[in-house]
Chains A and B, each alone.
Chain A
Amino acid sequence: MAQGEKTKRKIHAPGTLVLVFVFLAWFIALYVLQWSLLARGWPIR
Chain B
Amino acid sequence: MATQTKEADFRTCPVTTLQVHRPAELLITANAVTAVVFLTVGGILALLLALTRWQAVHLLPADWFYTFLTAHGITMLVFWIVFFEVAGLYFGSSVLLNGRLVAPKVGWVAFGLMLAGALLAELMIFTGQADVMFTAYVPLKAHPLFYLGIILFAVGALVAVYLFFASVVVAKHERRHTGSLPLVTFGLVVAAIIAAFTLISGAITFIPAFFWSVGLLETYDPAAYRLLFWAFGHSAQQINLAAMVAIWYALATLTVGATPINEKLSRMAFLLYILFINLGSIHHLMVDPGLSVVYKITNTSYIMYLAVLGSMIHAYSIPAAVEVAQRAKGYSKGLFQWLWRAPWGEPGFSALVVSMVLFGFLGGVSGVIQGMMQLNMMIHNTIRVVGHFHATVVGGTTVAFMGLTYYIIPLIMRRDIISKGLARIQPYVYGSGLFLLIVGMMLSGDMGVPRRSWDIYATGGAFTTQFPAFTDVTLAMLGIGAIVAVIGGAMFVYLAVFSLLFGKDLRK
A-side residues, CB < 8 A to B, are: 1-4, 9, 11-16, 18-20, 23, 26-27, 30-31, 34-35, 37-38, 41-42
Contacts and interface: CB of A to CB of B under 8 A. Distances in A.
Interface in B282-320: 315-316, 319-320
A23 B320 contact: no
B133 to A, nearest CB: 26
Contacts of B262: 1, 11
Contacts, number: 62
Contacts of A4: 179
A41 B216 CA distance: 46
A3 B55 CA distance: 56
A34 to B, nearest CB: 5
A19 B378 contact: no
A16 B323 contact: yes
A35 B327 CA distance: 40
A39 to B, nearest CB: 10
B309 to A, nearest CB: 14
Given A11-B324, A13-B324, A38-B374, 14 more contacts: A9-B324, A13-B261, A13-B319, A13-B320, A15-B323, A15-B336, A15-B338, A16-B316, A18-B335, A20-B316, A30-B366, A34-B370, A37-B378, A38-B378
A34 B375 contact: yes
Contacts of B335: 14-15, 18
Interface residues of B, number: 30
A7 B263 CA distance: 14
A38 B375 CA distance: 7
B19 to A, nearest CB: 18
Contacts of B261: 1, 9, 11, 13
Which DSSP category, helix, strand, loop or mixed, fits chain A's interface? Answer: helix
Nearest to A8: B262
Contacts of A3: 179-180
A14 B319 CA distance: 11
Contacts of A2: 259
B353 to A, nearest CB: 11
Contacts of A30: 365-366, 369
A35 to B, nearest CB: 7
B60 interface: no
A38 to B, nearest CB: 5
Interface centre among B261, B320, B336 (most CB of A within 10 A): B320
Contacts of B360: 23
A4 B260 CA distance: 14
Contacts of B377: 38
Contacts of A18: 335-336
A20 B315 CA distance: 8
